[in-house]
Every structure is written in C-alpha cells, then in structure tokens.
Amino acid sequence: MADRRPELEEREMPRAKRPRVDDRDPASNPYLAHMYENNGNGNGGYNGVARTGLSDFKRHETTAAQAHTAEDGPNNPFNNTPLSKQYFNILKTRRDLPVHKQRQEFLDMFHKTQILVFVGETGSGKTTQIPQFVLFDDLPHFNGKLVACTQPRRVAAMSVAQRVANEMDVKLGEEIGYSIRFEDVTGPKTVLKYMTDGMLLREAMHDHNLARYSCIILDEAHERTLATDILMGLLKEVALRRPDLKIVIMSATLDAQKFQRYFNDAPLLAVPGRTHPVEIFYTPEPERDYVEAALRTVLQIHATEPEGDILLFLTGEEEIEDACRKISLEADEMIREADAGPLKVYPLYGTLPPQQQQRIFEPAPPPSRPGGPPGRKVIVGTNIAETSLTIDGIVYVVDPGFSKQKVYNPRIRVESLLVSPISKASAQQRAGRAGRTRPGKCFRLYTEAAFKKELIEQTYPEILRSNLANTVLELKKLGIDDLTLMRALEELNYLACLDDDGNLTQLGKLASEFPLDPALAVMLISSPEFYCSNEILSLTALLSVPQVFVRPASAKKRADQMKDLFKHEDGDHLTMLNVYHAFKGAEAQADPKRWCHEHFLSLRALQSADNVRQQLKRIMEKSEIDLLSTDFNDKEYYTNIRRALVAGFFMQVAKKDGSGKTYKTVKDDQSVLLHPSTVLAVDSEWVVYNEFVLTTKNYVRTVSSVKPEWLLDIAPNYYDLTTFKKGDVRTALERTLDRVKRKQSTKRSK
DNA sequence: GAGCACTGC
C-alpha cells in the first residue's frame, strides 16, 4: 500500500547491510552473537533486548520452562520495564487455559517443522496464546521481522490485539499492534501484528515473499474466507522459496486434516476447548414451515425449560422482524394465561444500527414475582450471531438449518441471495453458541438423517482451495468449461485486464492495485480520458459502500421526497453524485449527523464512502493517474461522467424491449425491469446498470441512461458488429452506426 | 412500485 511504503523501506534498508542470518542455528550465527554481547549499546540491537529475559534464548530452541521464567518477570522481557500487578493477575488466568498445558508440545513441533496445523476448539485460548508462544521462540525482533496473525474480521483483529497487549503489559500499537483497512496501529517496535486476512493478501501483492515476516499464523482457517483460502495457496508456494518462514494454520474444527493434506502432511496438534456440553435434539419428521416450527420451539422452551436465554437463527431482516412481533404477542398471552415468565425479544442483523445491535447485551428480565417462572431474553438473528457476535448467557439455540447465501448462476451470470441449507460446520458452530457459559441445548429443526446426509461438510467449494491455473488447465483438458471461471476470464479479457493468452495486461496490473471490482477499477483508471476523474473517484467510492439512501417503512413518502431533492434526470449515478457533493458542502458538514437524518441519508455509508475515496485517491496519485474535472458550467460536465461509466460497465447495458417497461440485457438477453427505486424515467432507450438483483422479478438497479453511439465508440471490441450476436441489439447498433456515418459524411460534404 | 445474509481490501 502506498502509505505503508516508508516504513517498509526503513525496515529493509539496514537489514540489507547485515550479514546473512542462518535462522536454524542462531548460536553459530555471528550476527546474533554480536547482538547478545552488545547489551543494547545501540549497535544494531533492538531496544535493550540483551538486557531482558530473552537474551539467552536461542531462536527455535527454547523451552516452555524458559518462557515461563521470562514471563514471571519481574521485568517485561520485551521492553525491560517492570511488570504491573494486573499483568500477574492475567498471567494466572492465562496459565489455566487449555493450550497452556501443551506449550512444550507445541514448541517441539514448531521447532521440527516449517508448517504446522493447530486445532483448538473454542475456549482453548489459541488466538491469544499461540502467537505469544511463537513470539517467545521465534524472537522476530532479533531479525528485524514480525509475527503476523490473521483474522477474517476487523473487529476480531482489533479486540484480540488489545487483549494480547494487556496480557503482555504493553501499549497497543507498540510491541503488539493491529492492521486493518483504514487503520494501522503498529510502530517500529511492533513484534506481533494481528491483521485481517485481506490485509495480508494486499501486502503479499507487493511483497511476494512476505519478507517482513518470520512467522505467519492463519487463524480461523476453517471459516474458509476467500482471502484465507488464497493465502493458503500463496503460503504453500512462499514456504518453498523461504525455508526460514514458519507457518501455523489454526482451525477450530477437526477436519483440519484437509489442511494437513494440503500442506504435504504437515504435523497436527490438537488442544481441547473449554466449552460446556450441548445436547442436540432433532425433529423426528421434517418440518414444512421452518419459521412456524421455530416460533413454536422458542415458546415451548420458554414454557418448560429452566432459566437461560434463547438464540434463534433466521435468514433475513423481514423474517426476523416478523418473528419478533409474533413471539412477543404469543409470549404476552402466555404470561396472561399460563403464568409464564417475562420474555424480551431482540432482533439482530447486520443492517441494524449499532445502538440497536448493542441492546442484545441487556440482561434478561427478572421474574415478575419472587420465586416465579424465570424471565428470559430471546435473540432472533441472522448468521451474524454465528461468528461475528458472541452473546454470553445463551443456553438454548434453535436452528432451523437455513441461511441466505450468495449463489452465482453462471448460465445467466446472475448473483443472487437464496435461502439455502447451512453446512455441517455451520450447524456445529450454531450449536456451540449454547455452551459458552454452561451446559446447553440445541434444537435442530431438521431430522438427524438430514443432518448426516443432506448437509454438506463445508460451505465453500473445493475450487477455492486449489491452484486455479492448474484447475483451469485440468478442466479444459477434461473438456469441461467451468462456467464461473471461464466467464470471469472472459470478462477480464473484455475489460482488457487479461490479454488473449490470459496474461495480465498493463491495465490489469494497474486495476489490481485498487481494492475494487475490476469494472469499477477500469472505469476509474479510464476516467481521465473523459475529463472527470475527480467525479468518477467519488462515484466509485459511493458504489463500493452500502446504500446511502435510507427509506424506513414508517416514512417512505418523506424519504422519497428528500431523495427527489438530489434527483438528476439522467440517472441514479448522477443522483448519488449530487448527494455526495451536497454532503461535502458547508451546510451538511456543519452538522453531518443532523443533515443526514433530515435528508434520509445514511451517515455511516457517506462517511465510509469518504474513507474509501481517500484511499483510492492515494492509489491514483501513486499510480500517477490524473485527477481532473470538466468545468462545471460546461454543457459536457454530466455527459462526460456518463461516458466514463460506459468505460467500465459496457457489459452491463440493457436496451428497452418494444414499447413496454421491459428491458433486455445486452450480455445475455435477459428480460429485466428498472428497479422501482430508480430516478430514471422509463423512456430511456439504453441504460447502463450497476447491479442485477433477482427477487420477485428481475431488476437492474442503480441505472443511468446512455447513448448507443457511446457503446460503439468506447467499447468497440465488445460491440464489434461483425461478430456481435444477431438480434435486436445488433440491429439497433447497426442503425446507430449508419446514422453516425451519414452525419459524418454530410458534415464532410458541407 | 421494491426489500440487502455475512465478511474483506
């Protein structure tokens, strides 16, 4: 990343002058010996290392007992300052954690092997303790390197880093830091860095050998995020080039054998967790209506089970709000008629404002009279409650077995959200939520046979775990054109990011610098040609964040009126740009919170767009892409912006079909309607769209009107009329071409 | 005249 550069150079330069370090035999290493002797005299040593409890540690030869002694103080082995009372208090609890018993076993394995798989169930302490075990043995600061520990989520990276900083009695951002998008809390002293997996992946783009790191710990590998999967593929190759790099793959589930196999039978260490047993119940017969069955189960738990809160998993906002209403109603009746305890119901989903999300942590209501039936809280949530948010006090989990998942249909090239059965791994994760504080129960609203036979093991497809190039080749050899992959390659080829041989082009290289979808990146990179890169920069940021328009069910009309204030008749893109410009205006900036509220706009989304814009701007400056604007009074101001849209989204164009309201997509001839939220009038003949949504009907959303001659002019390869498939679109474009030619010839003859 | 599960750069 651009803003990371200076620090990288500072780290790299002195190292280049140093003698080569043989990591496997530090005792025989003249450089390390030199460090041990010079007690922090400033001769290349790290901050008083030699004076601390680590000075006689031999890298990759340490023992648990040695680390134990160093941890006992009295001074902090990493900065030689006296350790606090709080430190010793935490130390005691840390030594009770299950992983602690196997510290020596871990070290033995860590010494012997380059790659190691570590399985620790929830509550084992793996995320906080293993990186510290590594730190005391890998001693990254002796080599001017770092230990990295990746997390799939930003909040986890931040909160775990804070926790470990407390455990090690250091200030966050010094010896222990974290790095997430838009936030780098690390410094020159940092030895252990928690970071998001995506962040490490970005760094790897510029540092192919991950040279800054002496050890990389991939945590929560079982979650199989795209970034973790790609990192695993990458690390497998980096390991060959860098025999000195240690790698630890950490996972929560026992099918970690898959990871072992992937890393050439890497050794595995498993540590039990500290969770309470969860009893699983299945329904004897399949349920026809899972929402109805879920409500029944929740109410039955409330009526018959002892004290303890309930967590119900449903699939989306509407379903959850509806269920909350029904549960509250039924519970009131139970209280009146059957002397049931009070029941509080809380919804929980991602788009819920943070304050409302926080309400789930309110304590359960007390019994309505002393000695009466227990009060309870019920949380009805999406799978955000599966991994992202942990709620203590949950004793009962109700799992209907469904979640909304992104499904890509390569045939019609549409991505949509579908309610689908969850995987076994998810089901286990959900059940585990019942046993965090005491033994719990999980009610699965499907049969045991269905769990065993119908649920897939893991949610992510195998393809993400394989070397893609190889997979493509194999698929081709087998005569199978994997549609998803082939279409992706084809699109990148049309966007001129890949050449006809599948190699990365200059444009492709540049596009990969941006944390954006390729079409957005290409639009942004091309925008100076249309004299509007400042505006496209804003628009790109806006298109990369959640919806800026807020439309609460209680005030739809007023929200729409406010939106009309920003309306631009040429489409939603320009309307969004108007919003952004107004938001950056003096009036709005005086009190952004109030202004957004009054105008039914999401402050969070706009601030986030601002953040993204700044980041993209830095990358543009670094890549020397000009930032320019057409004069606002020029009549081409808005036209230029719409033309720039076509440079990235020429494949997402729809043409009006006959005289009605339907449109046909250029790409696949799909019938679509303009989404009702659009500001565009239906008389636009050609539109460019940002998104295809499949709900009750096929819609294109965030649309702007464009002219057919722009398509021919800006994307001639895609709209090559000699090869373009026959049909309505081609006929219309041919007519356009004739008209343009006629105009040119009449001009010439004049 | 509609509805967006969840992450991440």
* CA A517 / C1′ B8 distance in Å: 12
- In angstroms, the CA A45 to CA A35 distance is 6
The reply to whether A199 has its C-beta less than 7 Å from any atom of strand B is yes
Q: How far is the CA of A697 from the C1' of B1 (A)?
A: 12
- pLDDT at site A520: 92
How far apart are alpha carbons A716 and A494 in whole angstroms? 10
Which chain A residues in 371-400 sit with Cβ < 7 A of strand B? 382-384, 388
pLDDT (tens digit, 9 = 90+) per residue, A26-69?
A: 444 333 333 443 333 333 334 444 445 788 899 999 999 999 99
**Half-sphere CA count of A9, side-chain side, radius 13 A:** 6
Nucleotides on chain B that have an atom closer than 7 A to a protein CB are 1-9
Q: Decide: A334 and A299 in contact? Cβ < 8 Å.
A: yes
H, E, C per residue of A518-554? HHHHHHHHHHHHHCCHHHHHHHHHHHCCCCCECCCHH
Question: Given this model, what pLDDT does residue A225 score?
Answer: 79
In angstroms, the CA of A744 and the C1' of B8 are apart by 49
Give the CA-to-C1' distance from A675 to B1 in angstroms: 9
Q: In this structure, is the CB of residue A525 within 7 Å of any atom belonging to strand B?
A: no
Q: The pTM is what?
A: 0.81
A660: its two tokens: 């009605």
Give distance CA A582 / C1' B1 (Å).
27
Asked whether residue A406's C-beta has any atom of DNA/RNA strand B within 7 A, the reply is: yes
Residues 282-341 of A with CB under 7 A from strand B: 315-318
Cβ atoms A674, A682 nearer than 8 A: yes
CA quadruple A461, A464, A468, A470: dihedral positive or negative?
negative
Asked whether residue A699, judged by its CB, lies under 7 Å from any atom of the DNA or RNA strand B, the reply is yes
Positions of chain A with pLDDT under 70: 1-52, 254, 407-417, 457-485, 750
A706 CB and strand B closer than 7 A: no
Distance A540 CA to B1 C1' (A): 27
- Span A243-295, pLDDT tens digits: 999 999 998 876 788 889 989 999 999 988 777 889 999 988 888 888 899 99
